[in-house]
Structure formats: structure tokens, C-alpha cells
Structure 1
């Protein structure tokens, strides 16, 4: 599963495998049920119906729908990537870990894991730089340590 999904306004989403006499493989039905719930997943898996980008956005399948036009999805993806790249690499990695853990752990386990990672980041130079920059109202200069 992608971390961030940007969709063109003309994109279509679905689980059309039923039309081929099979079902979604590779965990598609399981992941989708966690995102959109049982009823919507059943509808898509059992009918093969395709949904629009707007519907996928409303259901939480995609992060957002980008502007219409050739190359707009790529432009926006690059902008998102640049924004993420400007952050502390240690914090980005930690953020990915804690969000991914939410799909593998119980809520109580996930909260404990998040707390450990959160507290651990206070030992990094980047956390000190980020907090110092915030207090001084300037842009942080992360060193990824």
C-alpha cells in the first residue's frame, strides 16, 4: 500500500477481479476493508464496480484529488516529496513506522510504541534544532542526527 495516494480527477478505482472469475489477491480485500469498511468493500469486491477519484477521496482511499491537467499529478507528487524531504529524515522514518504499526498492533500496543518512538526523538539533534527554530521563529536546518 502506498503511503500517500494522489489521484487525477479522471482516475478510477475498484476491485474488478470478480469479472474474471476470481477475487482480489495480494491482500487487496483485507487492506481495503480496513480503509473503507466491510459494506463498501463487499460492494466493490462482489460487483466489480469502479469508483471515481472523488468517491475514492470521500471514502479515504486516496489522500486527495489533484488539479485536472496533464502532468498535474506528477507536479503535485514532486511538491509533496520536496516537502517531506525538507523535514528531519529521522522524524520522517519514525512517522512512517508509527503509522504503519497502527495496522499491525492493537490500539494499546500502538500507543505504547508511539510513546517510545516519540520520547526517543527527544535525544536527536534534529528535535533540538526543530524546537529551537520554532522558538526563534526561523526555518529549521535539520542534520538528520
Structure 2
């Protein structure tokens, strides 16, 4: 698939995905969602890539929502399918990706943009970032997992407030509420994400993938997260990374995870 709205840059074991629709403030249309799926899938299947950073082009927006023109005349059935398909091919897909995903939130992250950031494994924001789910001001609700992930991250009360007021919060408020991990000047945003990625790369990619599955299990209906943790903990003992990690510890050297 020829990617028109998404750029991919690879730096050794790191990949940076940039949503590149600056004239639309990087709004998510159906084409961009498809392209993001292709980008994430191909990088996850690339064994040399250990961390993915996702960001938006320019200095104004990470993603300023969905492309409203595409669905303003949709029927009930079409709206339902829009939400279902989007969650499957992008938002749930990113959340469950075995490769760690860091969202570098540069500017506006609204609607689908905030939902993409929340689907990532954690978030770093620039000081000019503004985040919100304004869907109810359009007569609709967040449809790409926003009602679920926001409440998981900031709690039910804050999530209800943000969704019902359709308001935006600042980067500092997002950090205070636990929505983002760090807030830095925009010039420092990608360097910090790359620094964090470097720390992640020092550890076992097999164990990290198992940890992602185990943490996500806690937020999955009808799944016992503790049981998933026990299973993945046990499976770790059968991996080459476990042998290398424990051997390196006993030999007082840094592990070399292949």
C-alpha cells in the first residue's frame, strides 16, 4: 500500500510514524486510518524494530479529531460500522501491539486523536498540547474507544466531566490527571520520547510484549488479569531472553537480547 498521509522513519531499532495531513491538522479520515494500520502492522512484524513513536506533523496538532465530512450523512448502520471497523483495524490494534508504542502529543489531540494517543502504551505531551473529546458537541459520542480508555486512565468522574463538557484540558492538567506521563517543551518532545525508547530497548522485547498482554488483560471484560500474568510469567521461563537475562545478571554484565 502506497502511504500518502503517513510517514515512517527508522533509526536502528526505533521507528517514528508521523501522521502527515498538516492542512487538515492531521485529522483522521478513513484512508489515514488504513495507512496507520499498515504502518503499525509492518513495523510490528519487523523484528529489528523494538519501539514505535507516533506523532503528528507540524507544531499545531497531533491529530485534531476525525474528518467530519466523511460521516456527516451516515445512517445508524454506517455509523456503527465506522466505529467497529476503526476500533478493530487501528485503536484496539495499537493497544494490543506487541511492540511498545509511545504517543508524542504535539499540540491538539482531540476526538480520534486523543483516542489514538490513549490506545498507545503511554503518552508524552508538549507544553502547547490540548486534549479533549468534543464529540457530544456534534450530537455523537466518542466511538473509537474514548469512553472506555479515558475512564481507565483518569477515572470515571474526570472522564464524565471531559466527555460531557466537550472541553479541552491543558498538558499540565493531563499530567496531573494521569493522562500523560511527561510534559516538555515542543523542541524536547521527540528527544525525550527517543530517550525513553532507548531505555525500553535495553530490556527483553519478548518480556515487554508479554507484559503488554498482561497489563491489557486487566482492562478486558471476562478476562482474569492475574491468570494472564501467571501464564505469561511461566512462559517467560522458556525463552532465550530469560536465559540471557538471568545469565547476564549472575555474570554481572549487561544482557544482550537478540
TM-score by length of 2: 0.50
Correspondence 1:56 to 2:163: no
Distance 1:126 1:97 in 2: 17
* CA RMSD after TM alignment: 1.8
Give the match for residue 3 of structure 1.
121
Correspondence 1:123 to 2:241: no
Deviation at 1:136, TM superposition (A): 2.5
Deviation at 1:89, TM superposition (A): 1.8
Deviation at 1:106, TM superposition (A): 5.6
Correspondence 1:32 to 2:32: no
Distance 1:24 1:69 in 2: 27
Deviation at 1:69, TM superposition (A): 4.0
Deviation at 1:127, TM superposition (A): 0.9
- Seen in structure 2, the aligned counterparts of structure 1 residues 106 and 91 have a Cα distance that, compared at 3 Å, is same
SS at match of 1:123: coil
Q: Indicate which of 194, 200, 204 corresponds to 1:88.
A: 204
Comparing both structures, which one devotes a greater share of its residues to strand? Answer: 2
Q: 2:134–2:163: 8 Å Cα contact kept in structure 1?
A: yes
CA offsets 1:69-124 (integer angstroms, 9 cap, x no match): 42x111112222222223222112111111111111568x1111101111111122
Unaligned runs of 5+ in 1: none
Correspondences of 1:92-107 after superposition (within 5 Å)? 92-105=208-221
Unaligned runs of 5+ in 2: 1-118
Distance 2:181 2:222 in 1: 24
Bigger RCO of structures 1 and 2 (CA < 8 A, at least 6 apart) = 1
Comparing both structures, which one devotes a greater share of its residues to helix? Answer: 1
Distance 2:204 2:155 in 1: 34
TM-score by length of 1: 0.86
Query: Aligned pairs, how many?
Result: 140
